[in-house]
Chain A
Amino acid sequence: MEEYHRHCDEVGFNADEAHNIVKECVDGVLGGEDYNQNNINQWTASMVEQSLTHLVKLGKAYKYIVTCAVVQRSAYGFHTASSCFWDTTSDGTCTVRWENRTMNCIVNVFAIAIVL
């Protein structure tokens, strides 16, 4: 009987890598663009899907949830909170806030470990 060997030996969620991945994806999709009602659906979808594919490429045994909220920039109030029930040693989260002249964007990554 063969045993499954993990691809990488790191244990625990690496928030630094996740934050870099998310930042690159957001910069790539929204960098230099202005808020546009026609494209916004496409942008949010591609941003979230790209970050997810890059996170999976890290090769760790994790389930990922990526949430993104894009708001047009104006005088408004916005609160967000999250509460999680998980294993604090192996699971983790990373939140990146990105803004430019016409919009604000908040991306949340949650990673939950799979015990093999």
Chain B
Amino acid sequence: MKKRGRGQKAAATQALQPQSVGLKKDRKPSMFEKESYAQILKERLRESIHDVQYVEPPLDDSIADIGKEWKSALSKLKFANSYRMEPLKKFQAHTVETKVQQILKESLKDVKYDDRGLSHLSLQLADQILLAVKEFGYQRYKFIIKILFIQKTGQAINVASRWIWDVAWDSWVEAKHETESYVALALVFAVYCE
């Protein structure tokens, strides 16, 4: 039933077209075109699913609102000028890289790939690296640590990162630890808080 209806509409619009071309150049997109676009999109995405894994601040939490109220009150306050244009101690990527590489090597010396053990270990390792980076004592820097464990089963993996930050004093560090059964990758991003 639906198909017949659509076919008729298409014929009608085609009949009208030669008349209206002289009058106005752009035609409103017909319902038929809109439906087919949505259908094409659905076809393309038929095999894909997605979900949101983790969000912070939490999407439906009222606790987050309390923080926001405080913050908006704070934004009305004006801070005194610190006259500091750049960080006192700039982030040294090479020293941090050696330290992170050392931590990875020590903690993963004899660890084999194991589902449950590694999920706990990855969180532990992230916290450990965060503590170590904080110990360096870079003032006014914010840190983001990312740990990835990939089991070696002959599949390909591609990891890409892009960022928008101040190139003068924001930087990142990468450390990799490879064993027979898995590869561990640690990424550290250091962002100066202006």
A positions within 8 Å CB-CB of B:
11-13, 15-16, 19, 23, 26-27, 30-32, 35, 37, 40-41, 44-45, 47-49, 52, 55-56, 63-101, 106, 108, 110, 112-116
Contact = CB atoms under 8 A, between A and B. Distances in A.
Contacts of B159: 44, 67-70
Contacts of B191: 63, 65, 112
Contacts of B149: 77-80
Interface string B34-77: 00000001011101111111111101000010011011100100
Contacts, number: 221
Contacts of A49: 162
26 contacts: A12-B57, A15-B57, A27-B45, A31-B44, A31-B45, A44-B158, A45-B162, A48-B161, A49-B162, A63-B164, A63-B165, A65-B165, A66-B163, A69-B157, A73-B155, A74-B154, A77-B113, A77-B150, A81-B123, A82-B146, A83-B130, A86-B142, A87-B193, A90-B71, A92-B55, A94-B55
B30 interface: no
B51 A91 contact: no
Nearest to A115: B194
A81 B126 contact: yes
B157 A85 contact: no
B9 to A, nearest CB: 28
B96 interface: no
Contact of A13 (B57, B161, B164): B57
B187 to A, nearest CB: 7
A84 B52 contact: no
B155 A68 contact: no
Given A64-B163, A76-B150, A80-B148, A19 B45 contact: no
Interface stretch (B19-27, B87-95, B97-105, B114-122): B114-122
A84 B133 CA distance: 11
